[in-house]
Amino acid sequence: MKNLQALTLSEKKFTFNILDSIKVEIDRLQNPFHIPLDELFTMAARINKKRSFLFISKVLGKHLPIEPNKGLLIAALLGARYIEKVKGVECQEKERLLSLFLTGGTYYSRPFIPKHLNPVIIGFAETATALGHAFFDCFQAAEFFHTTREEIRGETPVITFEEEHSHATSHRCYVSQEMIDHQREIILVDDEITTGNTALNIIKSIHEKFPRPVYTVVSILDWRSQEYQQKFLRVEQELGIKINVVSLLSGHIEIHQFKELENRSKMLRTTNRETSIEVLRLGSFFTASEYSSKDQLNGIPYLNETGRFGLKSLENLNVHERVSSAADFLRQNRVGDRTLCLGTGEFMYLPMKLAAEMGKDVYYQSTTRSPIFIENKEGYGARFGVNFPNPENEKISHSVYNIPPSYYDELFVFFEREVSEEQLQPMLNELGELSFQTIKIVFFSRDRGE
C-alpha cells in the first residue's frame, strides 16, 4: 500500500490503505488543472454503516486546519473551471489563482465571472456552506443561499430534500420564492460527489415546483461510477433538462473493506498551560436577520450575511467591508504567535473570511457532525479528536479533529448566535485540555431583548 504523500500523478492507479481495514483504489483520474492530490485530500474511516470511508479535505477547513486563503482559492478555481467547461470561455484568472493556491499567497476575493452569467448558487450544508459562498464571490451578478439543517421558527422551507448517506439527512431551503421561481441556471455546490444522489434529489425537488432547462453540479471531487453517471443521464432524459457537472478532480473509486474497525486510540491530552477564557462580540459589525430557530436559542436571530436566507452579488462588497472591519478588531485582540480560528457547524464562511484577514500564522477549521475513527498514525486523516454537545443545540454532537495538543497558542471560536456560559462549558472542558494559552469565544448575534 502507498501512503497518500508518496503518490504521483504519473501513476495510473492510486491505492490508499485506511487503518489496515479499508482499501480505496482510484483510477481513470482526470485532473484538468494538474493540482497534486496531496494538496487536496487525505483519508479516514467514518463511523457510519452506510459509508465507511471519508475523504478528508485539505482545502475545506472542516476536518483539518487549513490556511484560510486555500479555502477561498479552491472555490475560485472551481469558478474558473466552471466558465471554461460549461461556458467554453478561457478564464484569464486561472493561472494567477493556481499560482496563489500552490505557493500559499493571499487571495483578495474579486468577481471575475461576467454579469451576463447570473445563476442562483446553492451551497450544501453543512460542509459546503463556505465553499458555495466563496464560489458565489466569483460572480458579478448571481444570487446565493445555502441549505440548512436548522428549523426556522414560523417559516416553511420553499424546498426540502434528503441526503441518504449522511448522519443528518434533512436539508431545508429558507428563501423567498422569487429567488428560485424563474428559468435561470441553478448551480449546486458540494465538496465531493460519490454517487451524486444528493444533487439529484435537490434537482428533482426544485424541478417539481420550479422547473427550468439547466442545472449545474460543482464539486472539488467527483467519484461517480459509470452507473451513477448513467443515472444523471437518465434524470436528464426523464425531466428534459441539461445537468452539467464540474469538478477539479474526478475518477473511479473501488472500496474494499476487509476488517471491522474499532476506535482504538483516544486523544493525547495535556494540561500544562493555564487557559484563559475571553468573550468578544462582533454584533456591531454585522446585521441580524428577522429569522430565529425553534431550538432553545429561538430568541436569538441568525445573521443576514451568512447567505442562509439569500444574498445577491450587489451585497458582496458590503459583506466584505464588514468582514475587513471585524477582522481588524480581532487582529488587535490576537496575543498568540500561532492562532486557530474555529467555525461552528454551518457557520463557516464568515469565520474563514475573518481568519484570512487576521494576519500571519492564522489557521482555520470548523466543528463537524461527522463521526470519524481516531488513530494517531502518520498520514491518517483523523489523528486527534475531541467531542462535545453542540452549545447551540445539546442534542447534536459536534467534533473537532486534528488539533495536536499544545500546537496552537490561541483559539478563536466563532458562534453565529450567543450562547450561555452553561451551554459552552462542555465544549470548553474538551478544548481546554488541548493546552491553548487563550480561548476567545466570539459571538455575532445576541437576543434582541438584551
pLDDT at residue 10 in the model: 40
Residue 304 confidence (pLDDT) above 70: yes
Residue 265 confidence (pLDDT) above 80: no
Residue 329 confidence (pLDDT) above 90: yes
Mean pLDDT lowest among 2-16, 78-92, 280-294: 2-16
Query: For residue 422, what are the contacts with CB-CB under 8 A and spacing of at least 6?
Result: none
pLDDT at residue 109 in the model: 86
How far apart are the C-alpha atoms of 113 and 115, rounded to whole Å? 7
Q: Are 243 and 201 in contact (CB under 8 A)?
A: no
pLDDT at residue 105 in the model: 87
All three cell numbers of 181, joined, read 421561481
Residue 95 confidence (pLDDT) above 60: yes
pTM (2 d.p.): 0.94
How far apart are the C-alpha atoms of 216 and 247, rounded to whole Å? 11
Domains of the chain: 72-257 (3.40.50.2020)
Q: Are 144 and 133 in contact (CB under 8 A)?
A: yes
User: At 168, which amino acid appears?
Assistant: A
Question: What does the pLDDT look like over 187-228, one tens digit per residue?
Answer: 999 999 999 998 999 999 999 999 999 999 999 999 999 999
pLDDT at residue 164 in the model: 59
User: At 257, which amino acid appears?
Assistant: Q
What ranges make up the beta strands (E) of 19-151? 22-30, 41-45, 53-57, 120-123, 143-146
| Mean of pLDDT values over 161-176 | 74
Q: Which residue has the higher pLDDT, 295 or 421?
A: 421
Residue 326 confidence (pLDDT) above 70: yes
Q: Are 290 and 448 in contact (CB under 8 A)?
A: no
pLDDT at residue 271 in the model: 57
